[in-house]
Chain A
Amino acid sequence: MSSLSVPASGIAGHRAMAGIEARRMARHPMFRLGVVLGFLVLTIFLALNSDESVPVVLTLPLLGAFYIGLTSVIAAARLTRSTEVAVEAVATAPGTEARRTVALAAAGIPPFLAGLVFSLAVVVVAQVRGVAAQEWWFGTLPDWQVWSIVLLCPAACLGGALLGVLTGRWLRFPGASAVVVVALIVVSLLGQIPLLETASSEWRLWVPWAIFHTGDNPDGTQTLIAGNPAAYLGYLLALGALAVLGAMWHDRSARTPRFRAVIAAVAATAFVLLALAVTTGPHDNQVSDPNPSRVTS
């Protein structure tokens, strides 16, 4: 026997690995760049509109999702690939690749927290500076609907990191994560823009980055797009879970019947949540009262 006893595997081990991966993500330059850019752009936007109440407030969480979420895809993919250079030493340790992948999912914690802080910052600033009475916000919408849309930001940031883990596990060519980011944007835009102004706008919600608010229209109104944002939030989280499971699938030893059942269950949950997002909540786009100060035509 070894002169030093080795503790058995357990939840403490998972927590330790998850902690390491979360710290690595928090220190990753690409992630930090995304956070800085996100908050910088938000600050500039608010400064440029400092003489009035916060405009198009329900679109602002998109900024966080864009800058933090997309850079998290790249950062998480790089983290995932980085440990593979030591794969021979790492793979002959008792921990399996699937276990390492689960730990890598914890790399989504810093982006999630950054996205949450971003969204809360938007809410706080809006509370302090106020919003126009015509804005889609608390008062003109049910609270659950506002909170669901606001919380899409941290969910998207988390999802970006988890998509990065999936990318890192499966795509080995140089620049794979950048290609995935571009593909994500293209799919999200092409999948929803043609539907936004139609009577079937809720069918856009299959895309992983759907919008619920158009921003200002030329006549000073704002359009709230159909669909249930709470169910869509759940759908996004389910997609994130599927990304982790897909990354774990890379480890052949993990492909047990039980694991397949888990994947099927999560996929079914995602489908149900998508169905709920499409079929419940507002069925039609809603147009706000015009705000005279926002008229541009």
Chain B
Amino acid sequence: MSVPTSTIELAGVGKRYGRKRALDDVDLAFDRGVTGLLGPNGAGKTTLLRIVATSIAADSGQVRLLGLDPHGSHADVTAVRRELGYLPQELGYPSDMTAFGFVEYVAVLKEWNDRERRVQEVRRVLDLVDLTDQATTRVSRLSGGQRRRVGLAQALLGDPRLVVLDEPTTGLDPAQRADLRRTLSALGHRSTVLLSTHQTEDVAALCERVVVLAGGTVRFDGAVTDLVGTAMGRVWLADEPGEDALVSWRTGTGRHHVVGGTPPAGADPAEPTLEDAYLLMLGPDARRLGAPA
């Protein structure tokens, strides 16, 4: 009897860029569902996603995707890539291609060889990201958010078992983000979806699980509610900013949202958000490295 394996398995994975350590001894496993990767800039999120997307190889450790070695035989790499949808952090587009043309080009690379079925599939994913009306527009003439959705559309081709999205909500307006959440949530029922974002509210709204990375290491790995729970009793609404607070800001009501430190006089306990928990998790790094939006 074979041992059941996770869709994504990373064991002791490390990656360096020259002298900079991007990932250090990372152990993670992912299965069906949507997982959010949070972390400040330079935390190693994109490196981790690129390794999972077979774009780069780890320097050390073991990576198994769908039970296969993504940098083993050509057959294994191809087998993994047949089940992979990947949206890179920065994706350029050929200037002469329309939205439909670009997604169709990727569809051909993904071996949608039958023209009728390919066209049907391209239309389906363009519809999923609400780009049907712009299908025949050149990508170079689309807005930033629309281009991002073209990138998303190509990643969703064929409902892949493994979906890797690097900052998918960048440039999307609230309605588009809500649509995307609905799409990814449905996809998460049958696929392993791994996404990185700076938008903690997206993770709170969409992901069952969250991984916080900082300095190339895993700071937290667990349920979103568990991460929020770590901030319980450490967030207040007060009339004054906390003197030793990790962060505090004046809200629209005129009161201060105080995260961490000691509660100011007259402070009322507040319900923590995922962002509060994330900031507390990172501690002083959150301010030094840049907090999520």
Contacts and interface: CB of A to CB of B under 8 A. Distances in A.
Contacts of B151: 89
Contacts of B121: 4
A8 B110 CA distance: 9
Interface string B94-132: 111100011011101111111101100100000000000
Nearest to B96: A24
A16 B118 contact: yes
A4 B156 CA distance: 11
A16 B55 contact: no
B105 A20 contact: yes
A93 B161 contact: no
Nearest to B115: A16
A20 B107 CA distance: 12
Contacts of B87: 89
Interface residues of B, number: 45
A175 B109 CA distance: 28
Contacts of B54: 92
B250 interface: no
A261 to B, nearest CB: 19
Interface string B67-81: 000000010001001
Given A10-B113, A92-B55, A253-B74, A20 B108 contact: yes
A248 B173 CA distance: 42
A92 B86 contact: yes
A3 interface: yes
Interface stretch (A80-88, A115-123, A288-296): A80-88
Contact of A94 (B91, B93, B110, B115): B110
B114 A12 contact: yes
B106, B108, B115: residue with the most chain A Cβ atoms closer than 10 Å: B108
A218 interface: no
Contact of A2 (B93, B104, B159): B159
Interface residues of A, number: 32
A9 interface: yes
A27 B138 CA distance: 13
B280 to A, nearest CB: 34
Contacts of A4: 121, 158-159
B86 to A, nearest CB: 5
Nearest to B102: A86
Contacts of B88: 88-89
B120 to A, nearest CB: 10
Contacts of A9: 111, 113
Given A16-B115, A92-B84, A6 B110 contact: yes
B201 to A, nearest CB: 26
Interface of A: 1-4, 6-10, 12-13, 16-17, 20, 24, 27-28, 79, 82-83, 85-86, 88-95, 100, 253
25 contacts: A2-B160, A3-B190, A4-B121, A4-B159, A6-B82, A16-B113, A16-B118, A17-B105, A24-B97, A83-B94, A85-B93, A85-B94, A86-B91, A86-B102, A89-B86, A89-B91, A89-B106, A90-B106, A92-B53, A92-B86, A93-B106, A93-B109, A94-B82, A94-B110, A95-B111
Give 6 nearest A-B pairs by CB, closest first: A85-B92, A93-B109, A88-B88, A82-B94, A12-B113, A95-B109
Given A3-B159, A9-B111, A9-B113, 12 more contacts: A7-B117, A8-B113, A12-B114, A13-B108, A16-B108, A17-B108, A88-B91, A89-B155, A92-B84, A93-B109, A94-B110, A95-B111
